[in-house]
């Protein structure tokens, strides 16, 4: 399901337990810390995807933990606060938290907000960060719209590029010619399905995918790594 890691920093064990239970039920991996320093070291040892941070902690102020975390890592943080004044909330947000939730909270609301924030971060990372797609001797950097074959930049036409990406992103999945036409050319394409063949051949040559871009006789094509 999901495999995002959540770190809960909360000194009231019952609340920490509720959060742990609720998020694990939704498929998250959860670890709990009961003091600020403990939480900080856990975050450093194994950076989670998101931190749920209590405002009031026995040793360090939650806001300070938040600052420490955001200074070193770019991990999204949600602050848990007792029902407070607007000033408190502003203070929390200024310290670097991405959202805040007031106690008592609705567990499903917390999960929903966590999902929203994680998704936002994924989007940002997809767009800005280099998450190259490496498939054997091919490396795709979508941000650059470029494909490298052993460090050599391939010059692909638009259709070739989209087709290749589609195959590389869905290894082993069979695509019929009409499915590829629908997906890449658009649902209103009226031409011959043999058009796909031609592009597949060109990709095979340019990207040296002869044995890996496999013909499934009578069905279509699929990309089989290795």
Partner DNA sequence: AATAACTTTGACGATTCCTTAACAAAATTT
Partner DNA sequence: AAATTTTGTTAAGGAATCGTCAAAGTTATT
Q: Dihedral (C-alpha) 84, 85, 86, 89: value to the nearest 10 degrees?
A: -30
Q: Is residue 219 close enough to count as binding DNA by CB under 7 A?
A: yes
Find the part of the chain contacting DNA (CB under 7 A) among 27-35, 76-84, 121-129, 185-193. 185-193
Among 116, 157, 178, 183, binds DNA (CB under 7 A): 157
Tell me how far apart the 2 most distant CA atoms of the chain are, in Å. Answer: 70
Per-residue string for binding with its own copies, 149-188, x by CB under 8 A?
--------xx-------------xxx--------------
Inter-residue contact 20 to 8 (CB < 8 Å): yes
- Binding to its own copies (CB under 8 A): which residues in 76-95? 86, 89-90, 93
To its own copies, the closest distance from the beta carbon of 106 in angstroms equals 5
Q: Is 72 in the site for DNA (CB under 7 A)?
A: no
**Could you list the residues that contact its own copies (CB under 8 A)?**
86, 89-90, 93, 99, 104-106, 108-109, 112-113, 115-116, 119-120, 141, 143-146, 157-158, 172-174, 216-219, 222
């Amino acid at each position: 399901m999901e495999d995002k890691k959540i770190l809960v920093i909360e000194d009231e064990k019952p609340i920490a337990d509720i959060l742990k239970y609720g998020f694990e039920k939704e498929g998250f991996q959860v670890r709990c810390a009961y003091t600020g320093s403990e939480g900080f070291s856990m975050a450093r040892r194994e950076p989670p995807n998101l931190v749920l941070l209590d405002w009031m902690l026995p040793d360090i102020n939650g806001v300070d933990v938040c600052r420490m975390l955001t200074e070193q890592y770019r991990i999204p943080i949600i602050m848990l606060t007792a029902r407070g004044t607007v000033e408190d909330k502003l203070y929390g947000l200024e310290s670097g938290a991405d959202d805040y939730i007031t106690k008592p909270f609705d567990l499903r609301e917390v999960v929903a907000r966590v999902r929203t924030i994680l998704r936002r971060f994924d989007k940002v990372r997809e767009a800005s960060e280099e998450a190259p797609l490496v498939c054997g001797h091919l490396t795709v950097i979508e941000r650059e719209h470029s494909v490298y074959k052993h460090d050599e930049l391939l010059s692909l036409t638009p259709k070739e590029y989209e087709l290749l990406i589609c195959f590389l992103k869905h290894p082993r999945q069979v695509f019929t010619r009409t499915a590829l036409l629908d997906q890449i050319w658009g649902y209103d394409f009226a031409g011959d399905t043999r058009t796909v063949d031609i592009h597949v051949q060109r990709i095979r040559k340019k990207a040296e995918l002869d044995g890996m871009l496999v013909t499934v006789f009578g069905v279509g094509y699929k990309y089989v790594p290795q």
